[in-house]
């Protein structure tokens, strides 16, 4: 019925070391102002963390104490000799469902002042705006599902928010939790060295990011757009805005419509035709390349 019991240890990460081998510490005993933004993870696999979160900028920020990570082992709250955390679905069907009493007990170990989110394919899509809102708060407690999911009653009883990272199903919620944490932690002040990059990346203003180029200016017969080498910053800004609009209109019509609605302005018909023509031309090029 249940997977074999693993190490089942609750671990904390942060400030001392960003590697998975960091020694467990009682994070909950530390002063709230000393630990920065906090991520608590309820999971059957505590050893999955910090994973990629311990690398690069998020790993450096973890080691510096700009944010902290604590895992809560769901198995430790399992029932019986084998610490079972799941049971068969009510009404029949394949798979297993995580029990409400087990998950509730695990959440009782979490810091109560943090919002609780269940990583679920049926949840609302994770957006840049949601990540930004979470980054402005004290942290988050994430529930990583397994098997067929979690008993609905504990979700309702605790008012747990459900968030999805995409329209697909993963083996478990650990990877999804890492995605949400990464998207959020990078927005915490001082985590990224260049704050200006946040204003220019995809979704910062509801648009996809414009194309990026670097040296050499001529590579394999393909050249950097001339305007980017002109030194005319106003012209460069106009080109980047136009390219962001073109890509968004071509690839994400939903974002394009929301962008227009949010800015409460109608698109200029001539510009609309220009963007549509560019999109159509781009599709033709792709079809020719694929053919």
Alpha carbon of residue 289 to chain centroid: 33
Annotated binding site: 145, 165-170
- Tokens 């840049």 -> residue: 128
131 φ/ψ angles, rounded to the nearest 5 degrees: -65, -40
Could you tell me the domains of the chain?
12-185 (3.40.1280.10), 205-285 (1.10.1270.20)
Tokens of 242: 């136009």
CB 97 within 8 A of CB 149: yes
- Tokens 């478990």 -> residue: 172
Tokens of 120: 């679920």
Mapped to the 3 state alphabet, what secondary structure does the chain carry? CCCCCCCCCCCEECCCCCCCCCCCCCHHHCCHHHCCEEEEEEECCHHHCCHHHHCHHHHHHHHCCCEEEEEEEHHHHCECCCCECEECCCCCCCCCEECHHHHHHHHCCCCCCCCEEEEEEEEEECCHHHHHHHHCCCEEEEEECCCCCECHHHHHHCCCEEEECCCCCCCCCHHHHHHHHHHHHCCCCCCCCCCHHHHHCCCCCCCCCCCCCCCCCEECCEECCHHHHCCCHHHHHHHHHHHHHHHHHHHCHHHHHHHHHHHCCCCCHHHHHHHHHHHHHHHHHHHHHHC
Residues in the chain: 291
Centre a 10 Å sphere on the Cβ of residue 175 and count the other Cβ atoms it contains.
15
Annotated binding site for S-adenosyl-L-methionine: 145, 165-170
Please tell me the predicted confidence (pLDDT) of residue 202. 53
Tokens of 142: 């994430």
Tokens of 276: 């549509």
**pLDDT tens per residue, the chain (291 residues)?**
444 433 344 445 554 344 443 333 333 334 334 558 999 999 999 999 999 999 999 999 999 999 999 999 999 999 999 999 999 999 999 999 999 999 999 999 999 999 999 999 999 999 999 999 999 999 999 999 999 999 999 999 999 999 999 999 999 999 999 999 999 999 999 998 655 555 555 566 889 999 999 999 999 999 999 999 999 999 999 999 999 999 999 999 999 999 999 887 555 555 555 554 544 444 454 444 444
Task: Give the residue among 113, 184, 102, 183 at the shortest CA–CA distance from 143.
Answer: 102
What is the spatial distance between Cα 49 and Cα 69, in angstroms, rounded to a whole number? 8
Question: Is the entire prediction scored with pTM above 0.85?
Answer: no
Alpha carbon of residue 205 to chain centroid: 18
């Amino acid at each position: 019925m249940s997977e074999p019991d693993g190490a089942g240890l609750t671990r904390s990460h942060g400030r001392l070391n960003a590697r998975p081998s960091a020694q467990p510490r009682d994070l909950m005993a530390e002063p709230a102002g000393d630990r920065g933004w906090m991520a608590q993870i309820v999971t059957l696999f505590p050893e999955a963390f910090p994973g990629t979160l311990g690398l690069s900028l998020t790993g450096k920020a973890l080691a510096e104490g700009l944010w902290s990570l604590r895992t809560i082992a769901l198995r430790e709250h399992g029932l019986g000799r084998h610490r079972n955390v799941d049971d068969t679905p009510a009404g029949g069907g394949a798979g297993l469902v995580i029990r409400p009493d087990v998950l509730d007990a695990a959440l009782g170990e979490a810091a109560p002042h943090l919002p609780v989110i269940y990583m679920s394919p049926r949840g609302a899509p994770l957006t840049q705006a949601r990540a930004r809102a979470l980054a402005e708060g004290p942290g988050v407690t994430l529930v990583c599902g397994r098997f067929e999911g979690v008993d609905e009653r504990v979700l309702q009883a605790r008012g747990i928010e459900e968030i999805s990272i995409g329209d697909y199903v993963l083996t478990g919620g650990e990877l999804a939790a890492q995605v949400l944490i990464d998207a959020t932690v990078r927005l915490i002040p001082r985590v990224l060295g260049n704050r200006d990059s946040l204003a220019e990346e995809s979704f910062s203003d509801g648009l996809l990011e414009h194309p990026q180029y670097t040296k050499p200016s001529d590579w394999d017969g393909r050249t950097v757009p001339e305007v980017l080498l002109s030194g005319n910053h106003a012209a460069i800004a106009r080109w980047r805005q136009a390219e962001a609009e073109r890509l968004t209109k071509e690839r994400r019509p939903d974002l394009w419509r929301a962008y227009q609605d949010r800015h409460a302005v109608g698109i200029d018909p001539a510009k609309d035709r220009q963007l549509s023509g560019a999109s159509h031309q781009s599709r033709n090029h792709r079809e020719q390349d694929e053919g």
